[in-house]
Structure 1
Amino acid sequence: MANKNVWDPDWDISDEIAQQLIYSQFPQLSSHTVQRLGHGWDNTVFLVGGKYVFRFPRRGLAVDLIHLEGKLLPKLDGLLTLPYPKPLFYGKGTSEYPCPFLGYSYVKGSFPQKLADEQRARSAKKLGQFLRRLHSFPVQIARENGAPEDHRKLMDIPARKEKMQVFLSRLGNQMEERERAALADYFKQLSTDPVRERNVFSHGDLHFKNVLVDEQGEVSGIIDWGDMSVGHAAGDLSIGYSFLPPRARHAFFAEYGEVDEDTKRLARMMAIYIPMLVWLQAIDDGDKRLAQEAKGTIARALTDEEFHDR
């Protein structure tokens, strides 16, 4: 049967085979424990000895993403202002598991859950500075090393608006009436006018599942770089709406640099689109915690500063 959801795996890997592959190809790690951390859409993830993270593709398209990370991430060394996984171990597929896999330095932190607005706001300048530096990376070098061009068709607002309305029909019974009304009102007002191109080298998938925070709730690292691409800056700038409370957005954009209103329109749309998809996956996986976080992210992205204290 064909996969029905974009997050459904083409294959998976057992803990035993993952350990066997890591130990056999990297004997220097054979004294380290191998612990499954979980999976995303594209990869199954293992923590090795508390020092390294190994990612094994679970979908065919993720193989190219692993190759891309292996080539491009080392070129960001010294540029970025937040920790990120650095490729260290390049694994090869075998008869037990058909794909290449990659081991990285471990970035400390936890996923942002139930953070207070005050905690989130403290990361505004950090995130703005991080994206300003990331988006300064030469686009030509990114292209020469395989970064795809607008592979998600980010600027096709009419198509995304139509998809979000379908998502809403599937999520409707998970919402209170006021929440459904808020999204419906947003869709009604969302302009589908074209957005001017603003191509940069970008992370490409910057949402709450790919952000780590420290014990104080401040951003401590950015993970999962498989969707690196050349595309509109709004894709990454969506973090200003999805992660930050409304009152912290001015500091975020001030640190990043001038951003026009069309870019902000596209950024907010992506800050709603992605967590709607994450919410659908969470329902499919029976993950109530993730569903609640996605729901809260959408509410935050919909809120403007003037309404925040009402």
Structure 2
Amino acid sequence: MGRNLWDAEWEVTEPLVQQLLNLQFPRLASLPIREIGNGWDNTVYRVGDEYVFRFPRRQVAVDLLRTEARILPKLAGYITVPYAKPLFFGKESTHYPAPFLGYSYIPGKFPIGISDDARVQSAAALAKFLKNLHVFPVEVAQQEGILFDQRNLTDLAGRKERMLDFLSRFNLYITQEELDEIANYLQGITLERVEHRQVLLHGDLHFKNMLVDDSGILAGIIDWGDVNIGHPACDLSIAYSYLPPASRQAFYEIYGEVDDETKILARMIAVYIPMLLFMQAVDDKDEAIAEEAKSIIQRALAD
């Protein structure tokens, strides 16, 4: 059986985490630890009440983590929502082949199954967050090693082809009507490429990298491993994936108006990312994440 793109190259177990803390951060060694999640690139552990540690699970994540460690401290004057600040900088060793980071813990939960009303109440905070992030000086980001659009975000034609190919994996899990809705949406996109833009991006802004409080209101943004310089549509996809249609205009009134090409690309990414999350959730047999990903696709397609 072939490997999936999200398969781990390194398994990060609780005994390994305990060993690494004992060796590199002995003052944390007595704190309780527990695994709280696996992303595409990192395994995440809670350490005590105050900290969370991210450990790369694939080689491709190593340079991303190093870059994140350099850029995040410089964002303090720009970020308007809570975000995890790196406090502990673990080094690769004979016990584990990659660097790892420990951050301040942000309380909250993933926004799974929350109401439209709660989503609307976070629209202004999301718009203000992205407006400020996207004016961070690109030249400073470059000096810290942030890469330019390494994922070729502006290639709509290539992304469309990949998304249509994904649908062949969906037919066992969603209805024909749902399949047709996605396929018809994709076939209706005639734009093949948008002009390059250069702003600092979070780069992976979706529900598994967001936290909300018990009321469903935005409480924090996490996982900056894909921070890069590129087209703002990458982050603006959140206006389609997270927000109900009726609140999108209010979002843009705060963020600032954008052109139609940007909105087309933003909506496309808002459909593309949950397609990936859905396929990973199916492989992991995670029904809650799969259902949330399906609902995101439906929300992103809604006008």
Separation in 2, partners of 1:165, 1:4:
21
Aligned partner of 1:34 in structure 2 is: 33
Q: TM-score, structure 2 length as denominator?
A: 0.98
The alignment status of 1:55 with 2:54, answered yes or no, reads yes
Aligned partner of 1:183 in structure 2 is: 182
Q: Is residue 21–residue 28 contact of structure 2 (8 Å, CA) maintained in 1?
A: yes
Deviations 1:240-283 (A, max 9, x none): 00000000101111110121110000000000000000000001
Q: Is residue 112–residue 207 contact of structure 2 (8 Å, CA) maintained in 1?
A: no
Deviating more after overlay: 120-129 vs 14-23: 14-23
Aligned partner of 1:96 in structure 2 is: 95
Separation in 2, partners of 1:120, 1:156:
29
Separation in 1, partners of 2:298, 2:26:
48
- Pairs within 5 Å for 1:202-281: 202-281=201-280
Separation in 2, partners of 1:41, 1:197:
26
Secondary structure of the residue aligned to 1:173 is coil
Separation in 2, partners of 1:194, 1:39:
33
- Deviation of 1:13 (Å): 1.5
Deviations 1:108-156 (A, max 9, x none): 1100111111111111111000000000100011011010100110001
- Deviation of 1:194 (Å): 2.5
Secondary structure of the residue aligned to 1:174 is coil
- Deviation of 1:6 (Å): 1.2
Deviating more after overlay: 160-169 vs 174-183: 174-183
- Deviation of 1:200 (Å): 0.4
Aligned partner of 2:70 in structure 1 is: 71
- Pairs within 5 Å for 1:269-308: 269-304=268-303
Q: Which runs of 5+ in 1 are unaligned?
A: 305-310
Query: 2:261 corresponds to which letter in structure 1?
Result: D
Q: Which runs of 5+ in 2 are unaligned?
A: none
Separation in 1, partners of 2:172, 2:25:
49
Deviations 1:50-92 (A, max 9, x none): 2101011000011101101110000001221101110000011
- Deviation of 1:25 (Å): 0.8
Separation in 2, partners of 1:179, 1:252:
27
Separation in 2, partners of 1:42, 1:12:
12
Secondary structure of the residue aligned to 2:171 is helix
Q: TM-score, structure 1 length as denominator?
A: 0.96
Aligned partner of 1:23 in structure 2 is: 22
Secondary structure of the residue aligned to 1:73 is helix
Aligned partner of 1:308 in structure 2 is: none
Separation in 2, partners of 1:49, 1:193:
49
Secondary structure of the residue aligned to 1:236 is helix
Aligned partner of 2:4 in structure 1 is: 5
Misfit runs of 4+, over 3 Å: none
Separation in 2, partners of 1:190, 1:239:
19
Query: 1:288 corresponds to which letter in structure 2?
Result: E
Deviating more after overlay: 279-288 vs 19-28: 19-28
Q: Is residue 157–residue 193 contact of structure 2 (8 Å, CA) maintained in 1?
A: no
- Deviation of 1:219 (Å): 0.9
Secondary structure of the residue aligned to 2:114 is coil
Deviations 1:153-183 (A, max 9, x none): 0001111000000111111221112211111
- Deviation of 1:234 (Å): 0.2
- Pairs within 5 Å for 1:127-206: 127-206=126-205
Secondary structure of the residue aligned to 2:164 is helix
Deviations 1:176-227 (A, max 9, x none): 1221111111011012332122210000001111111111111110001000
Compute the RMSD of aligned alpha carbons: 1.1
Query: 1:55 corresponds to which letter in structure 2?
Result: R
Q: Is residue 124–residue 251 contact of structure 2 (8 Å, CA) maintained in 1?
A: yes
Separation in 2, partners of 1:38, 1:269:
27
